[in-house]
Amino acid sequence: MNTADFITALFEPLGDNAPVKHTLIVDYTTEDGEECHGEFFPMVPPGTAMEAVAWLIVEEMARLRCTVSAVFELLDGYTCADAERVNAAELADHVRVLYNRADHQQPQ
């Protein structure tokens, strides 16, 4: 039994209240200036505002001295490997922006 099958079996008794797995891509810069991206797979209750989950990730990454530039949710079962493989136009239909640092800058 693989991990996905195990998790499905574990939450099956919860029915419609079972946590839902999401695939998030986080683009960030380390305190050394290295640009990186990471995959996060939060399991959250149905109906959870994923923007709130993105903010939790942004706050935690800041605590780790990283600056998050964007958090994207991959939709329709897309994976990070899929996102790297397809062109931007095709990917646009399968991504939802949850956080974009440019949209949250304080005016100077």
pLDDT tens-digit series, residues 31-63: 999 999 899 989 899 999 999 999 999 999 999
Tokens of 52: 């709130």
Spatial distance between the Cα atoms of 47 and 92, rounded to a whole number of angstroms? 23
Position 56 in a domain: yes
Asked whether residue 43 is domain-assigned, the answer is yes
Tell me whether residue 39 is in a domain: yes
Q: How many domains does the chain have?
A: 1
Within a domain: 21:
no
pTM metric for this prediction: 0.81
CB 90 within 8 A of CB 83: no
Query: What tokens were used for 50?
Result: 């994923």
8 occurs within a structural domain: no
How many Cα atoms are found within 13 Å in the side-chain-facing hemisphere of 47?
Answer: 3
Q: Could you tell me which residues come within 8 angstroms of residue 30 by beta carbon, excluding any fewer than 6 positions away? A: 36, 65, 66
User: What range does the domain containing 40 cover?
Assistant: 26-102
Residue 20 is assigned to a structural domain of this protein: no
